[in-house]
Amino acid sequence: MDQHIARRLNRQDYKTLSLAALGGALEFYDFIIFVFFAAVIGELFFPADIPEWLRQLQTFGIFAAGYLVRPLGGIVMAHFGDKIGRKKMFSLSILLMALPTLAIGMLPTYQSIGIAAPILLLLMRMLQGAAIGGEVPGAWVFVAEHVPEKRIGFACGTLTAGLTFGILLGSLVATLINTSMTPQAIAETGWRIPFFLGGIFGLLAMYLRRWLQETPVFREMQARKKLSEALPLKTVLADHKRSVVVSMLLTWLLSACIVVVILMAPTLLQKQHGIAAATALQANSLATVMLIVGCMLAGLLVDRFGAGKTLAIGSLLLAICSWGFFHSVATTPEYLFIAYAITGLSVGVVGVVPFVMVRAFPAEVRFTGISFSYNLSYAIFGGLTPISVTLMMKLTPMAPAWYVLTLAVIGLLLGLWLAGERRQQSVLGTVSAR
């Protein structure tokens, strides 16, 4: 048993991790491509005579709807993931993502069907939210239960990097369209292209998942008849409240980093600082590459030094780098690329988050515990972040920086708290990760 815990990753582990990460990346692309075309979507799906701030607020509101519905989809898929298997939920989540993504690409605009256009767009975003609600927690559980215990940090960090690659893919597609097509062509048909591609990507991801095997941990629970007999969510709420609170706070940190620094920033750079769309997206692509590196680095550091120290130091770097980025863009925009790249690397601290959550819940209710905490937190904080930051910008143009700084402080405090304990399980009051 000790040899299994400490052994290196083998060929099968790498195959599982690679296929899970690639499939997750393709599905994550489908979910976030919306934000890269938020400006043009806002112009096409809302009346032309409304104020620009209201148009932006409504557009990000539809984006947020995808987050608000995540808990329902996540809880349902997690329930069956804990009852009948992790792998089966993978195919379902991808199907639920691919179909509405294709539908968005075919939707008529406000000029064609009036108020029905934003309503249909809202419904499609809700279906996407239900799908992603089961995908991300399920993927973390899946890889963590496949690899040796001493490699869980690297596996979770690498998978998070894989999900982040979906953001990079979206940024690259958006950059290509913005550089190869005129604004008029994009408004007419160009904005639909990434959604059609997303549907194809989703079907490809569903095909790739055929080659994955059920996790050894779940098969062992089946063999020993150790599956949760009670409703998994009831067990989580009754016996693992502290784990839920810690996981929700860490998810808030993750959502603040991803939504503000990576997803919202390109639009903010265009609207607030007059930076060309192509330039903003190029810088965003560079930052996302650095984020991928940061996630994997954070995973390695967790396995070596523990989650507490890695989270505390990473959050401190995040606070410094993110504040410097938003300040430099306003005062010295010529440093956009280097400032954004360094900030993207610091955002890699989010690679610590899935490790803590996987260790927070026992295997019998792990999928449900992570899914409930992660999706509820994302619905409350991640979904409202774009709206909150947009409203706060009426008070100060540095609102995005203040928001990320606040969450970085919370991450620092949580990291110091976790580092003060000898073992992760003693903080969270749960059993071993395996």
Is the model's pLDDT at 319 over the cut of 80?
A: yes
Share of the chain above pLDDT 70, in %: 93
Question: What pLDDT, on the 0 to 100 scale, is given for residue 225?
Answer: 64
In which band, very low, low, confident or very high, does the pLDDT at 5 lie, cut at 50, 70 and 90?
low
- Specify the amino acid at residue 57: L
Residues found in the chain? 434
Distances (CA, A) of 130 to 77, 219, 257, 332: 9, 26, 22, 41
CB-CB neighbours of 207 under 10 Å: 12
User: CB count, 10 Å around CB of 101?
Assistant: 28
The winner for highest mean pLDDT among 111-115, 232-236, 347-351 is 347-351
Phi and psi at residue 432, to the nearest 5°: -60, 155
Residue 250 near residue 414, CB atoms below 8 Å: yes
Please check whether residue 216 is in contact with residue 85, taking contact to mean a CB–CB distance below 8 angstroms: no
Give backbone dihedrals phi and psi of 85, rounded to 5 degrees, phi first.
135, 150
pLDDT band at 251 (very low <50, low <70, confident <90, very high): very high
Report which of 206, 210, 196, 144 is spatially closest to residue 360, judged by C-alpha positions: 144
Q: What is the mean pLDDT of residues 3-25?
A: 71
Q: Is the pLDDT of residue 425 over 50?
A: no
- State CA 309 to chain mean position distance: 23
The pLDDT tens digits of the residues spanning 212-230 come to: 777 777 777 767 766 666 6
The per-residue pLDDT for range 359-369, each reduced to its tens digit, is: 889 888 888 89
The domain defined by 2-428 folds into: Growth Hormone; Chain: A; (1.20.1250)
Total-model pTM: 0.81
Local confidence band at 293 (pLDDT 50, 70, 90 cut-offs): very high
Residue (of 358, 356, 366) closest to 85 by Cα position: 366
Q: Which residue has the higher pLDDT, 313 or 25?
A: 313
Report the distance separating Cα 420 and Cα 321, nearest Å: 25
State in Å, rounded, how far the first CA of the chain is from the last one: 11
Output the pLDDT for position 7.
Answer: 64
Taking only the tens place, the pLDDT of each residue in 130-176 is 888 887 888 888 888 888 888 899 999 998 998 888 888 887 888 88
**Mean pLDDT of the 393-421 span:** 89
Tell me, what's the pLDDT at 311?
A: 95
Cα 366 to Cα 358: distance, rounded to the nearest angstrom = 7
Cβ of 422: how many Cβ atoms within 10 Å?
8
Backbone angles phi, psi at 397, to 5 degrees: -70, -15
Band (402; pLDDT cuts 50, 70, 90) = very high
